[in-house]
Every structure is written in C-alpha cells, then in structure tokens.
C-alpha cells in the first residue's frame, strides 16, 4: 500500500487496537447455531471476556436495547432478549478479569445524565479504571414508550441532546456540581464517587451523520467508523481529524476503530466458504420470512422461504417502527420497494430467502488467512487509515477463538500488536492522552 493522506503521518511503529462488540440483535451473528453457547447466560460473557483478555484485547463491548424488537406485535424470535443491564453485567465481569477494558453501550436519549454518569463511574471504580461508555442515540417513538415519552425527540435533535448529556457527565466525573434547568434535568447533582485509576470512563461514539461526527470530534476518545471500504475510510479519517482540530483538540486525539466481521480460514478458499456459510445462515429462512412480514404487515409463516415471494398484497400502511432497525429514509415508500423486489425476484428467479440475501446490506467482512488479514491491517494502521478494529464475532465461541489463537499471533509477528499488557487501564491500553485535567478546567 502506498502512503495516503489521512490527516496523520505514516507511523511504522503504530500498534493495532482491538475490541469485540457483543450485540444482541441483527443478522451479523449466527445466534441459532447449535454449537453457540447460551446468549444470555453469565457464563457465556465470562468465557468470551476471559478469552479476549488472553488475546490481550483492548476492550470487550456489550450492546444495549431499551426495548425488545417486535414483529407484528410479538417479540422478534430471532433477536436476543433477557440479558442483564450492560453496566451490571460488566461489573460482574470486572471481578473475573484483570486488564481488559469493559465498555457499556448506554443510550444518551433516554437515560438521565446524573444517574447514568454515576452508574458508569461506579463501573470505572469497580474495574479499577477499565470502564468505557459507548454513546448511542435513538429517535423512535416506539422505544420512547418505555419511558412514557412516545414521539418525544425529533430525529435532528438526537445529537443535540447527546452532546448535552455527555457534557453534564464529564462535569459530574470532574467533581463539579451539576445544575441544569432544561428538559434534560431539573436538579442539582454532585459526584460522591472517587476518581478511578484512569480518571473517568473512556468515551466511545458510533454515529456517522454530521451530528455524530461532530460529537465524536468534540468529546469522544474512540469512534466506531462504518466506513470500511478503503477510499471511504481514508476520507472519513481526514474529515474526522479536521473536525477534531476545529474543536481545539489534537487532530488525531480520537482513535478510529471501524466495525468489522472477521472470517478466517487456513486457506483463502476455506475463508470464502465460511463467508458463504455465514451469509446463508445469518439470513436463514426464519429471518427471511420475518423480514418480509415487516414489509407486508401480514403473517407469512405459511410461505416456504425457498419458494417464490408472497402472492398476496401487503397492507397499505407504512412500516411499523417497532423493529427499531430502519433508517429514517427507509420508513416510507414501502409499496414501491416491494414492487422493485418483485421485479428483481422475477428477473433473477430468486426465492424469498435469496431475495432477502440479495437486498440485505453486505456485512463488513475482512476475510482470508490470518497472514493475509494481518498484512492488510498492518498497512492500514501504519498509514493511519484506522487505529484498529471493533470486531463483531459471527459465532460467539468459534470466531472468538480464531481471533485469539490465529489472528493475534500473526499480528504479533508483524510487530503491530502487543505481546503483553503494559498498562492497567483502558485509557492506557488505547494510548490516550489524559484529558481528565482539561475536563476539570473546562468545567
């Protein structure tokens, strides 16, 4: 790879930072595989976190859901429900791990700032400086109903609120008395929790809109980029670093970790076969039919997923937002979309499952032999296109073991990955500057 302009200089000694994100929804993970462990049991989380710590990973992330997904008014059977709260679960993991960072996905839209800040500070104290907050937002009224706030927040205000919540949390962690009289909080709060070894939780942010990028540039320590294609990733790195500098921070103050799914094989052919297996099983018949039911608004369980598309008309109502997974732009124009799918299925002779596989967004696969993936990643991190990766394991046990036992040694051979932990805090693992002093000054 030739040197590229990413807004940061080439670094021959750059080190890759790795996290694993453990979601509860989506087709990126084959939840139903018979060899996968229980997706709710505490022992599963313990096993994964300890395996990743053996692999010297920076962090283990847990997803969060403010409400279970539904399909035609019933809980969506293909998603995971019943997990403990992420902060509580990670607090338990702090007792059975020693170094790995523990990052909780927590919603800035519905949580109360002081209460959330206190719980995150508690995790940071219990883990002795290994806590992080993955800041997410939502606008949908369906989730808001859980908080008696249906239709409460306009889409464009998500990051306005998130910025206010983050700023209040940072004041709280800095030991400042928080007094704010807005729709966010009408109270006075002050932290009674002592600083941890890293000062405050590390801030992660995953939004890719203009508002999301500005929030990351202004406040985040790490950002999860969705831009995994090379040209997009280069453009994103330049843009984020320019925004970060514009907020008065060092241009490369924010670590960039794109979200990816890693599929490893002893040969390229084996890796390609695993990708085919993964896509076929992640978009299985049950998921495919449930996907179309969302658009048809009707019970389609009598239709064979390996057969043609339903020959009945969908209901005319637009999409039910209760699945909570659709972008704003995709919530209208349902009938036109179905007409396009019918034509595509007819032209290509696609079954229900094949059509869903065809129209579903392609996963961000990084596949190949461990050596090939390690070579690619070493070039990316040295060119400062990225600082590492946040990996979504497609199989909770097998793919995690592959990462630790196959990919990590290949990265270590190339000199781009640690051979031991040299710090005790998440901030230290990530090589982040200590911003807690400036937080206090700004407060």
- 367 annotated binding-site participant: no
Tokens of 421: 């932990």
Separation CA 415–CA 57 (nearest Å): 15
Identify whether the C-beta of residue 257 lies closer than 8 Å to the C-beta of residue 264.
no
Residue 87 CB contacts under 8 Å (≥ 6 apart), including other chains: 104, 106, 119, 120, 122, 123
Tokens of 405: 């036992």
Residue 440 CB contacts under 8 Å (≥ 6 apart), including other chains: 174, 175, 176
Tokens of 334: 């349902």
Separation CA 263–CA 407 (nearest Å): 10
- 159 annotated binding-site participant: yes
- 155 annotated binding-site participant: yes
Torsion angle of the four alpha carbons 81, 86, 91, 92, in this order, in degrees rounded to the nearest 10: 10
Burial category of 42 from C-beta neighbours within 10 Å (exposed 0-12, middle 13-18, buried 19 and up): middle
Tokens of 292: 């179309």
Separation CA 26–CA 65 (nearest Å): 12
Identify whether the C-beta of residue 95 lies closer than 8 Å to the C-beta of residue 76.
no
Tokens of 320: 């039910």
- 209 annotated binding-site participant: yes
Identify whether the C-beta of residue 172 lies closer than 8 Å to the C-beta of residue 118.
yes
Separation CA 49–CA 400 (nearest Å): 10
* Tokens 């241009």 found at: 251
- 105 annotated binding-site participant: yes
Identify whether the C-beta of residue 343 lies closer than 8 Å to the C-beta of residue 309.
no
Identify whether the C-beta of residue 43 lies closer than 8 Å to the C-beta of residue 419.
no
For residue 359, what are the CA distances in angstroms to 76, 98, 147, 291, 337?
20, 43, 34, 11, 11
Give the closest residue to 295 by CA, choosing from 320, 258, 273.
320
Strands (E), 121-164: 131-136
Annotated binding site: 64, 105, 155, 159, 209
Annotated binding site for FMN: 64, 105, 155, 159, 209
């Amino acid at each position: 790879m030739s040197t590229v302009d990413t807004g940061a200089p080439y670094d021959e000694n750059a080190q890759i930072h790795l996290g694993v994100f453990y979601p509860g929804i989506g087709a990126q993970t084959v939840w139903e595989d018979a060899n996968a462990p229980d997706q709710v049991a505490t022992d599963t989380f313990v096993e994964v976190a300890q395996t990743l710590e053996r692999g010297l990973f920076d962090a283990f992330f847990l997803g969060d859901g403010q409400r279970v997904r539904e399909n035609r008014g019933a809980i969506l059977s293909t998603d995971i429900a019943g997990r403990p709260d992420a902060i509580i679960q990670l607090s338990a993991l702090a007792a059975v791990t020693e170094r790995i960072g523990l990052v909780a996905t927590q919603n800035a839209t519905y949580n109360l700032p002081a209460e959330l800040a206190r719980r995150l500070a508690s995790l940071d104290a219990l883990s002795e400086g290994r806590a992080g907050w993955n800041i997410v937002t939502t606008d949908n009224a369906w989730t808001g109903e859980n908080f008696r706030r249906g239709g409460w927040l306009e889409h464009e205000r998500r990051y306005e609120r998130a910025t206010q919540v983050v700023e209040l949390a940072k004041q709280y962690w800095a030991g400042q008395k928080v007094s704010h009289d807005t729709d966010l909080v009408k109270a006075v709060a002050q932290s009674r929790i002592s600083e941890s070894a890293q000062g405050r939780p590390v801030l992660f942010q995953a939004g890719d809109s203009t508002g999301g990028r500005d929030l990351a540039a202004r406040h985040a320590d790490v950002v999860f980029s969705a831009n995994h294609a090379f040209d997009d990733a280069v453009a994103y790195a330049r843009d984020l670093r320019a925004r970060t500098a514009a907020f008065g921070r060092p241009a490369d103050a924010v670590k960039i970790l794109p979200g990816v799914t890693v599929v490893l094989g002893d040969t390229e052919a084996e890796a390609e076969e695993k990708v085919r297996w993964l896509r076929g099983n992640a978009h299985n018949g049950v998921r495919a039919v449930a996907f179309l039911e969302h658009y048809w608004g009707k019970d389609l369980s009598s239709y064979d997923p390996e057969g043609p598309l339903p020959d009945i008309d969908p209901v005319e109502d637009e999409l039910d937002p209760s699945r909570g997974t659709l972008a704003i732009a995709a919530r209208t124009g349902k009938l036109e979309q179905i007409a396009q799918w019918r034509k595509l299925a007819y032209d290509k002779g696609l079954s229900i499952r094949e059509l869903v596989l065809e129209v579903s967004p392609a996963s961000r696969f990084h596949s190949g032999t461990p050596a090939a993936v390690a070579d690619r990643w070493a070039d990316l991190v040295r060119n400062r296109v990225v600082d590492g990766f946040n990996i979504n394991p497609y199989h909770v046990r097998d793919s995690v073991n592959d990462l630790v036992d196959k990919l990590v040694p290949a990265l270590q051979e190339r000199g781009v990955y640690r051979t031991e932990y040299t710090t005790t805090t998440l901030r230290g693992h990530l090589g982040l500057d200590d911003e807690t002093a400036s937080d206090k000054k700004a407060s």
